[in-house]
Amino acid sequence: MKFIDEATIEVRAGKGGDGAVHFHRAAFVPKGGPDGGDGGRGGSVVLCASMNVGTLSDVALKRVIGAQDGRPGGGSRMSGRAGADITIDLPVGTVLKDSETGEILADLALAGESLVLYGGDGGRGNARFATPSNRTPRRAEPGRPGESRRLHLELKLLADVGLIGRPNAGKSTLLKALTAASPQVGDYPFTTLTPNLGVVMLDNFKRFTIADIPGLIEGARFGRGLGGRFLRHVERTNLLVVLIDSNDANYRTTLDGLLKEIGGYSAELMRLPRIIVRSKSDLPRASRSRLRFDLEISSFSGEGLGELVDILARRLGVV
């Protein structure tokens, strides 16, 4: 299934059914009186976070989603049937915004959290308007419209650790080495086309999650390349791992550039604690560097991976 993390849809709750204008008709009851029933309530739309959904691909194809309208009232004070509610399952981590104002309406960060657009009330039938002075009311109310909004949906992956680096820095290979995730990897830049999520299992049956986003290039914060578009997927993380390729002869410039892109995108992201890691330590170094690394690893040989997991687990408090 194609990974889609943004979508704009129009959501319409159902309109309430109209109230009925009706008078009782029966033999030997010459003045049966008004008996028009109320209209049924319109169906509501529930947008709910679910662990069973991982992308916005399904909802993105629907553009307009509407619940059922309520049925009109009938004679003999019969109320119309209520419109059926519908539930739209969204990935956990979906942010719902008003597409016109940008106002955040809901942040579905936990499974089961929801935003509800309520259906309209049914109109009252003419039986409701009978009074001693007006025993034959010929009026009824129309059903009220349901709530309607044009929503912009943004998915932000929920992960404990975010991997940051230039294209081909070894992020996807590291994710594959530490978790059961199977990102496409290769010896060329821009291998990662979409964010990937993996789970690191620990010996004490605890776990933590890692998110890998496409490599950041200069100007990513302004929309260049793929990484900038997906930086929001590491906004919810508790810790960043910044990978620097051993083949990179300009370690300091690369690190400064990465931090510039992160800070330009989000000040909050810049404040997250981070670990500076040199990747591909099994390969010859392009040059000596004065840059102090927290750790050197090789996803190919396994060097430093156990230590990295230990560091991450301690920083996250899952030891």
pLDDT attached to residue 290: 55
Place of tokens 């009220």: 144
Which residue matches tokens 């929920």? 158
Whichever domain contains 212, its CATH number is 3.40.50.300
Count the helices and strands in the chain (H runs, E runs). 5, 14
Tokens 């931090």 found at: 259
* Domain that residue 93 falls in: 1-155
Q: Are residues 273 and 169 in the same domain?
A: yes
118 in the same domain as 188? no
Q: Give the pLDDT of residue 28.
A: 62
Residue 264, judged by CB atoms within 10 A of its CB (0-12, 13-18, 19+), counts as middle
Q: Supply the pTM of this predicted model.
A: 0.76
Ordered per-residue pLDDT tens for the chain, 319 residues = 567 888 999 999 999 999 999 998 876 655 678 999 999 999 999 999 999 988 888 898 888 999 999 999 999 999 999 999 999 999 999 999 999 999 999 999 999 999 999 999 999 999 999 998 898 899 999 999 999 999 999 998 888 999 988 888 888 889 888 987 666 544 444 455 577 888 899 987 889 999 888 777 675 565 655 556 678 888 888 999 999 888 777 888 888 888 888 888 888 888 999 999 988 776 665 555 556 788 989 888 888 999 999 999 999 998 7
What CATH number has the domain bearing residue 97? 2.70.210.12
Say how many residues make up the chain. 319
Residue 204: predicted pLDDT: 79
Q: How far is CA 162 from CA 61, 119, 133, 204, in A?
A: 29, 40, 73, 22
Q: Are residues 151 and 167 in the same domain?
A: no
